[in-house]
Amino acid sequence: MLNQVFDVALVAYVLALLLAAVNLFAPRRLLDALATAGLAVGVLAVTVYLGARWVAAGRAPFSNMFESLVLFAWTIPLVQLVLRARGLMPAAMTTTTALLAVLLLVYASAFHSSEIQPLMPALRSNWLTFHVLSCLLGYGAFAVSCLASLGYLGASREARPTPSGNQELFAAIMTRTVSFGFLFLTVGIVTGAVWANVAWGTYWSWDPKETWSLITWLIYAVFLHGRYLRGWTGRRMAWLSILGFLSVLVTYVGVNYLMKGLHSYAS
Protein backbone atom coordinates (compact mmCIF):
# COMPACT_ATOMS: atom_id res chain seq x y z
CA MET A 1 0.00 0.00 0.00
CA LEU A 2 2.79 2.43 0.90
CA ASN A 3 4.36 2.19 -2.55
CA GLN A 4 1.04 2.79 -4.27
CA VAL A 5 0.29 5.89 -2.20
CA PHE A 6 3.80 7.20 -2.90
CA ASP A 7 3.21 6.68 -6.63
CA VAL A 8 -0.11 8.55 -6.44
CA ALA A 9 1.66 11.50 -4.83
CA LEU A 10 4.38 11.52 -7.48
CA VAL A 11 1.89 11.28 -10.36
CA ALA A 12 -0.23 14.09 -8.87
CA TYR A 13 2.82 16.35 -8.56
CA VAL A 14 3.92 15.54 -12.12
CA LEU A 15 0.44 16.34 -13.47
CA ALA A 16 0.41 19.59 -11.49
CA LEU A 17 3.81 20.45 -12.98
CA LEU A 18 2.70 19.74 -16.55
CA LEU A 19 -0.58 21.64 -16.22
CA ALA A 20 1.11 24.60 -14.55
CA ALA A 21 3.82 24.67 -17.25
CA VAL A 22 1.22 24.71 -20.01
CA ASN A 23 -0.62 27.45 -18.14
CA LEU A 24 2.49 29.62 -18.28
CA PHE A 25 2.36 29.72 -22.07
CA ALA A 26 -1.40 29.54 -22.57
CA PRO A 27 -2.99 31.00 -19.43
CA ARG A 28 -6.40 29.56 -18.63
CA ARG A 29 -8.29 29.62 -15.37
CA LEU A 30 -9.20 25.97 -15.80
CA LEU A 31 -5.55 24.96 -16.24
CA ASP A 32 -4.58 26.99 -13.21
CA ALA A 33 -7.34 25.40 -11.12
CA LEU A 34 -6.42 21.89 -12.28
CA ALA A 35 -2.73 22.46 -11.53
CA THR A 36 -3.58 23.69 -8.04
CA ALA A 37 -5.90 20.71 -7.54
CA GLY A 38 -3.10 18.35 -8.63
CA LEU A 39 -0.79 19.92 -6.10
CA ALA A 40 -3.46 19.53 -3.41
CA VAL A 41 -3.97 15.86 -4.30
CA GLY A 42 -0.22 15.35 -4.07
CA VAL A 43 -0.10 16.93 -0.61
CA LEU A 44 -3.03 14.77 0.51
CA ALA A 45 -1.37 11.62 -0.84
CA VAL A 46 1.91 12.43 0.93
CA THR A 47 -0.06 13.07 4.14
CA VAL A 48 -1.66 9.63 3.82
CA TYR A 49 1.74 8.10 3.02
CA LEU A 50 3.41 9.62 6.07
CA GLY A 51 0.49 8.63 8.28
CA ALA A 52 0.50 5.03 7.03
CA ARG A 53 4.27 4.82 7.42
CA TRP A 54 3.95 6.20 10.95
CA VAL A 55 1.47 3.43 11.84
CA ALA A 56 3.57 0.73 10.16
CA ALA A 57 6.81 1.85 11.84
CA GLY A 58 5.28 2.66 15.22
CA ARG A 59 7.17 5.96 15.23
CA ALA A 60 7.27 9.31 13.48
CA PRO A 61 8.58 8.74 9.91
CA PHE A 62 11.26 11.43 10.16
CA SER A 63 14.38 9.45 11.07
CA ASN A 64 16.41 9.14 7.85
CA MET A 65 17.11 10.94 4.60
CA PHE A 66 14.36 9.18 2.62
CA GLU A 67 11.69 10.07 5.16
CA SER A 68 12.85 13.66 5.54
CA LEU A 69 12.87 14.13 1.75
CA VAL A 70 9.27 12.93 1.59
CA LEU A 71 8.40 15.30 4.44
CA PHE A 72 10.15 18.13 2.57
CA ALA A 73 8.08 17.29 -0.52
CA TRP A 74 5.03 17.75 1.70
CA THR A 75 5.93 21.05 3.37
CA ILE A 76 6.84 23.04 0.24
CA PRO A 77 3.54 22.51 -1.65
CA LEU A 78 1.63 22.89 1.62
CA VAL A 79 3.05 26.40 2.15
CA GLN A 80 2.30 27.19 -1.50
CA LEU A 81 -1.34 26.06 -1.15
CA VAL A 82 -1.91 28.01 2.06
CA LEU A 83 -0.61 31.21 0.49
CA ARG A 84 -2.58 30.52 -2.68
CA ALA A 85 -5.78 30.15 -0.66
CA ARG A 86 -5.06 33.57 0.86
CA GLY A 87 -4.60 35.10 -2.59
CA LEU A 88 -0.88 35.72 -2.07
CA MET A 89 0.61 33.31 -4.61
CA PRO A 90 1.13 34.02 -8.33
CA ALA A 91 -0.11 31.17 -10.51
CA ALA A 92 3.35 30.91 -12.10
CA MET A 93 4.85 29.71 -8.83
CA THR A 94 2.79 26.52 -8.98
CA THR A 95 5.20 25.36 -11.67
CA THR A 96 8.35 25.82 -9.62
CA THR A 97 6.75 24.44 -6.45
CA ALA A 98 5.53 21.31 -8.25
CA LEU A 99 8.96 20.91 -9.87
CA LEU A 100 10.68 20.96 -6.47
CA ALA A 101 8.19 18.43 -5.08
CA VAL A 102 8.74 16.10 -8.05
CA LEU A 103 12.52 16.34 -7.79
CA LEU A 104 12.44 15.60 -4.05
CA LEU A 105 10.27 12.50 -4.45
CA VAL A 106 12.28 11.23 -7.43
CA TYR A 107 15.56 11.77 -5.59
CA ALA A 108 14.18 10.08 -2.48
CA SER A 109 13.01 6.99 -4.38
CA ALA A 110 16.03 6.73 -6.69
CA PHE A 111 18.89 7.23 -4.25
CA HIS A 112 17.58 6.25 -0.83
CA SER A 113 16.05 3.08 0.56
CA SER A 114 12.38 3.33 1.52
CA GLU A 115 12.64 0.30 3.81
CA ILE A 116 11.39 0.97 7.32
CA GLN A 117 14.26 0.52 9.75
CA PRO A 118 14.40 0.51 13.56
CA LEU A 119 15.55 3.69 15.24
CA MET A 120 19.03 3.95 16.64
CA PRO A 121 19.04 4.61 20.42
CA ALA A 122 19.78 8.36 20.16
CA LEU A 123 16.65 8.87 18.03
CA ARG A 124 14.24 7.06 20.33
CA SER A 125 12.63 10.17 21.72
CA ASN A 126 9.41 12.11 21.31
CA TRP A 127 11.60 15.16 20.66
CA LEU A 128 12.32 13.67 17.21
CA THR A 129 8.81 14.56 16.00
CA PHE A 130 8.84 18.15 17.26
CA HIS A 131 12.40 18.88 16.17
CA VAL A 132 12.31 17.47 12.64
CA LEU A 133 8.77 18.59 11.82
CA SER A 134 9.51 22.15 12.98
CA CYS A 135 12.74 22.34 10.97
CA LEU A 136 11.18 20.92 7.80
CA LEU A 137 8.19 23.28 8.01
CA GLY A 138 10.70 26.11 8.25
CA TYR A 139 12.70 24.74 5.33
CA GLY A 140 9.53 24.45 3.24
CA ALA A 141 8.71 28.10 3.87
CA PHE A 142 12.27 29.14 3.05
CA ALA A 143 12.11 27.19 -0.23
CA VAL A 144 8.97 29.09 -1.25
CA SER A 145 10.65 32.33 -0.20
CA CYS A 146 13.62 31.50 -2.43
CA LEU A 147 11.28 30.84 -5.37
CA ALA A 148 9.55 34.17 -4.72
CA SER A 149 12.95 35.87 -4.58
CA LEU A 150 13.88 34.47 -7.97
CA GLY A 151 10.50 35.65 -9.28
CA TYR A 152 11.15 39.10 -7.83
CA LEU A 153 14.57 39.35 -9.46
CA GLY A 154 13.11 38.20 -12.76
CA ALA A 155 10.23 40.68 -12.53
CA SER A 156 12.61 43.52 -11.68
CA ARG A 157 14.27 43.05 -15.08
CA GLU A 158 11.00 43.56 -16.93
CA ALA A 159 10.06 47.01 -18.14
CA ARG A 160 6.40 46.24 -17.49
CA PRO A 161 5.90 43.59 -14.81
CA THR A 162 3.17 41.11 -15.72
CA PRO A 163 0.59 39.83 -13.21
CA SER A 164 2.67 36.66 -12.78
CA GLY A 165 5.73 38.75 -12.11
CA ASN A 166 4.28 41.34 -9.80
CA GLN A 167 7.16 42.60 -7.68
CA GLU A 168 5.02 43.71 -4.76
CA LEU A 169 3.38 40.32 -4.53
CA PHE A 170 6.71 38.51 -4.67
CA ALA A 171 8.08 40.84 -1.98
CA ALA A 172 5.08 40.14 0.25
CA ILE A 173 5.55 36.39 -0.20
CA MET A 174 9.24 36.69 0.70
CA THR A 175 8.47 38.52 3.94
CA ARG A 176 5.62 36.26 5.03
CA THR A 177 7.39 33.00 4.27
CA VAL A 178 10.64 34.07 5.93
CA SER A 179 8.70 35.18 9.02
CA PHE A 180 6.86 31.85 9.14
CA GLY A 181 9.99 29.82 8.44
CA PHE A 182 12.07 31.74 11.00
CA LEU A 183 9.52 30.95 13.71
CA PHE A 184 9.60 27.23 12.97
CA LEU A 185 13.38 27.12 12.53
CA THR A 186 13.70 28.75 15.95
CA VAL A 187 11.39 26.13 17.45
CA GLY A 188 13.40 23.43 15.68
CA ILE A 189 16.70 24.70 17.08
CA VAL A 190 15.30 25.02 20.62
CA THR A 191 13.72 21.55 20.61
CA GLY A 192 16.91 20.14 19.11
CA ALA A 193 18.94 21.68 21.93
CA VAL A 194 16.63 20.20 24.58
CA TRP A 195 16.76 16.81 22.84
CA ALA A 196 20.58 16.99 22.65
CA ASN A 197 20.75 17.63 26.38
CA VAL A 198 18.56 14.60 27.04
CA ALA A 199 20.54 12.35 24.66
CA TRP A 200 24.10 13.60 25.08
CA GLY A 201 24.08 15.73 28.24
CA THR A 202 24.72 19.08 26.52
CA TYR A 203 22.45 21.63 24.88
CA TRP A 204 25.00 22.70 22.28
CA SER A 205 28.15 20.96 21.03
CA TRP A 206 29.00 22.95 17.88
CA ASP A 207 28.28 19.91 15.76
CA PRO A 208 28.47 20.89 12.02
CA LYS A 209 24.69 20.67 11.63
CA GLU A 210 24.13 22.79 14.73
CA THR A 211 26.64 25.35 13.50
CA TRP A 212 25.06 25.61 10.05
CA SER A 213 21.59 25.80 11.58
CA LEU A 214 22.81 28.80 13.56
CA ILE A 215 24.30 30.37 10.42
CA THR A 216 20.97 29.89 8.63
CA TRP A 217 19.09 31.36 11.59
CA LEU A 218 21.38 34.42 11.62
CA ILE A 219 20.92 35.06 7.88
CA TYR A 220 17.15 35.10 8.21
CA ALA A 221 17.42 37.16 11.40
CA VAL A 222 19.32 39.77 9.37
CA PHE A 223 16.56 39.57 6.72
CA LEU A 224 13.81 40.25 9.27
CA HIS A 225 15.83 42.91 11.08
CA GLY A 226 16.48 44.72 7.82
CA ARG A 227 12.89 44.42 6.66
CA TYR A 228 11.06 45.45 9.83
CA LEU A 229 13.55 47.68 11.63
CA ARG A 230 15.59 49.17 8.79
CA GLY A 231 12.94 49.28 6.09
CA TRP A 232 15.03 47.36 3.58
CA THR A 233 13.25 46.43 0.36
CA GLY A 234 14.05 45.34 -3.17
CA ARG A 235 16.79 43.21 -4.61
CA ARG A 236 18.86 43.23 -1.41
CA MET A 237 16.09 41.31 0.37
CA ALA A 238 15.72 38.88 -2.53
CA TRP A 239 19.41 38.06 -2.47
CA LEU A 240 19.35 37.62 1.31
CA SER A 241 16.48 35.17 0.94
CA ILE A 242 18.38 33.20 -1.70
CA LEU A 243 21.53 33.19 0.45
CA GLY A 244 19.46 31.92 3.37
CA PHE A 245 18.10 29.02 1.35
CA LEU A 246 21.58 28.10 0.11
CA SER A 247 22.53 27.88 3.79
CA VAL A 248 19.45 25.69 4.34
CA LEU A 249 20.69 23.31 1.63
CA VAL A 250 24.13 23.13 3.24
CA THR A 251 22.51 22.46 6.61
CA TYR A 252 20.06 19.88 5.25
CA VAL A 253 22.16 18.03 2.66
CA GLY A 254 25.76 19.18 2.66
CA VAL A 255 26.46 18.53 6.33
CA ASN A 256 25.10 14.98 6.12
CA TYR A 257 27.45 13.93 3.33
CA LEU A 258 30.48 16.19 3.62
CA MET A 259 31.02 16.62 7.37
CA LYS A 260 31.29 14.17 10.23
CA GLY A 261 29.26 14.85 13.32
CA LEU A 262 26.51 13.76 15.65
CA HIS A 263 23.95 14.09 12.84
CA SER A 264 25.79 11.85 10.36
CA TYR A 265 23.14 9.16 10.81
CA ALA A 266 20.74 11.38 8.83
CA SER A 267 22.50 10.46 5.57
Tens-digit pLDDT string for the chain (267 aa) = 788 999 999 999 999 999 999 998 888 889 999 999 999 999 999 999 999 999 988 888 888 889 999 999 999 999 999 998 887 778 889 999 999 999 999 999 987 778 888 777 667 778 888 899 999 999 999 999 999 999 999 887 764 544 444 788 899 999 999 999 999 999 999 999 998 888 778 888 888 888 999 999 999 999 999 999 888 888 999 999 999 999 999 998 877 676 665 555 455
pTM score: 0.90
Question: 129 in a domain, yes or no?
Answer: yes
Q: How many domains does the chain have?
A: 2
Question: Do 220 and 101 fall into the same domain?
Answer: no
Question: Do 36 and 110 fall into the same domain?
Answer: yes
pLDDT for 178: 97
CB of 182 within 8 A of CB of 224? yes
Rounded Cα distance, 85 and 144, in Å: 15
Helix (H, G, I), strand (E, B) or coil at 158: coil
Question: Do 130 and 26 fall into the same domain?
Answer: no
Question: 137 in a domain, yes or no?
Answer: yes
Q: Supply the range of the domain harboring residue 30.
A: 1-62+89-115
Question: Do 106 and 141 fall into the same domain?
Answer: no
